[in-house]
Amino acid sequence: MEKLDEHTLPHWWKDVQKALETENIDEFRSEFINLHPYDQTQIFLAQEKKERMLIYTYLSPEEMADILENIELDRLDPILTEMDARYASQVLGGMATDDAVDVLNTLDQNEVASFLTIMDKEDAEDIKGLLHYEEKTAGSIMTTEFVAIEAAMTIREAMVHLRNEAPDAETIYYVYVVNEDKQLVGVISLRDLIISEEDRAISDVMSDRIVSISVGEDQEEAAKMMRDYDLLALPVVDFQQHLLGIITVDDIMDVMDEEASEDYSKLAAVSDMETPDTSAWMAAKKRLPWLIVLLFLGMLTANLIGQFEQALTKVPLLAVFIPLIAGMAGNTGTQALAVAVRGIATGESRADGKIRILLREAMTGLITGISCGVVITAVIYLWQGEFYLGLLVGLSILGSLVVATIAGSFIPLLMHRLHVDPAVASGPFITSINDIISILIYFGMATLFMDMLIS
């Protein structure tokens, strides 16, 4: 673990550390248990294995579960491995069900089966109920630890039920209402429960305008719904509207972080950035597939330039501006790609939004192309005294930027339409495509200008 600067540590950290070093369990617990779970986690992660083994004996499985819920998934496997197997299974059983499922999904099947076998039967059944849902769906991130009341109850009966069930629930800010068939029919806030008259029926107080999500929907859709409706929890239902679980805002924050990391990985043409590479070989293994594809696209670009060897022989100065035009097109295309992917992520591209995005990017390409074209024409004329060469480069930049912005926005929109992740249209991929297009435009126009260039 990273060595800490003792002079910058808060006093309570030093007290906990001293208790660990002297193996004083009473002092450790009196200081440690009262800390926020985040602070407990930071202390735990800063320890060497010897001190961590002491912590396992000082804390109950339920107390240790609070710590594990705050640790990133990729760091949990070695921690669970060093624990006693029975203690580890009890820790998993003490975690929120959805968090325990997330942890188990990172382990191999043999480890999962081993933990479930020695786990408390009731906890194991709850976890098994979520394990079969496909990864990255609403079902895989929901928790079954929620409070549901029946529509036929009175406010008084509902409050008694809530008091009994609340200790095991992940959140009680929303209380969901079901009918006798366990179908979701309404929702009532904790505030409305508290202020309503005790003899009133739940069906009279609840709201039947419910925002819910199907268990098989993508987790990203759940994040959008919670953002759009400003919810703290989102009920998850099956095709017959049976209430299966809820998704809480803390899980959605994890989803948003995960999705952002995943999209950034794809935009950068890297297969996975969620877990740090342990070696140069692993890093290279992830990046090589895209780089090889881009290598062949680069060879295609080089071959295109070779086709115009005669033009380069007649006007060698043409070669000087190839990187300029290709670079401008690549950069503009990447900017348009980022705007289009963001429009898809925020929902802006829905309905007529796609046409609006394409038109806006085309106009942006036209305006920037004209501006850059005029500037480069003037610069080349003043630099080389070649007006027609400057005009050729300026018009090529204009055409390249217009086409690049349209391609950069159209390709991800098309992929989204075909139900392919638009982030796959990565920056390096768009850049390579626009290199090819810009080279064709540049040398195509050079052929038209050739008589004026050599006169």
CA distances from 370 to 49, 60, 392, 444 (A): 63, 69, 13, 19
In the block, residue with structure tokens 């597939």: 289
Average pLDDT over residues 266-281: 55
Q: Tell me the backbone φ, ψ of residue 154, rounded to 5 degrees.
A: -90, 170
- The tens digit of pLDDT for each residue in 442-452 reads 888 888 888 78
**148-251: which CATH topology?**
CBS-domain (3.10.580)
What amino acid occupies position 56?
A: Y
Locate CATH 1.10.357.20 in the chain: 280-454
To the nearest 10°, the Cα dihedral for 273, 279, 280, 282? Answer: -60
Q: Which residues pair with 243 in a beta bridge?
A: 237
Alpha helices in 22-96 (DSSP H): 25-32, 37-45, 49-58, 61-68, 76-82, 85-94
Task: Give the integer Cα–Cα distance in Å for 90 and 171.
Answer: 22
What amino acid occupies position 249?
A: V
- Judging by DSSP bridges, how do beta strands 233-237 and 184-189 pair with one another? unpaired
In the block, residue with structure tokens 């392919």: 420
| Packing angle of the helix pair 387-417, 427-454 (nearest 10 deg) | 150
What's the pLDDT at 389? 86
pLDDT tier at 427, thresholds 50, 70, 90: low
pLDDT tier at 267, thresholds 50, 70, 90: low
Res 274 pLDDT > 60: no
Q: Tell me the backbone φ, ψ of residue 188, rounded to 5 degrees.
A: -140, 135
The CATH number for 6-135, chosen from 1.10.3720.10, 1.10.3430.10, 3.40.50.2300, 1.25.60.10, is: 1.25.60.10
Q: Tell me the backbone φ, ψ of residue 170, rounded to 5 degrees.
A: -75, -30
- The tens digit of pLDDT for each residue in 162-184 reads 999 888 888 888 899 999 999 99
Show the CA angle centred on residue 359, arms to residues 358 and 360, nearest 5°.
90
- The tens digit of pLDDT for each residue in 292-344 reads 776 777 787 777 777 777 777 777 888 888 888 888 888 888 888 777 777 77
What's the pLDDT at 3? 47
Q: Tell me the backbone φ, ψ of residue 134, rounded to 5 degrees.
A: -65, 145
Task: Give the integer Cα–Cα distance in Å for 41 and 114.
Answer: 26
Contact residues for 61 (Cβ-Cβ < 8 A; gap 6+): 87, 90, 91, 93, 94
Task: Give the integer Cα–Cα distance in Å for 409 and 334.
Answer: 9
What CATH homologous superfamily does 280-454 map to? SLC41 divalent cation transporters, integral membrane domain (1.10.357.20)
Alpha helices in 268-321 (DSSP H): 280-307, 309-314
Locate CATH 1.25.60.10 in the chain: 6-135
Task: Give the integer Cα–Cα distance in Å for 94 and 55.
Answer: 16
Copy the structure tokens of residue 121: 């039967």
Side-chain-side CA neighbours of residue 33 (13 Å): 11
The full length of the chain comes to: 455
Locate CATH 3.10.580.10 in the chain: 148-251
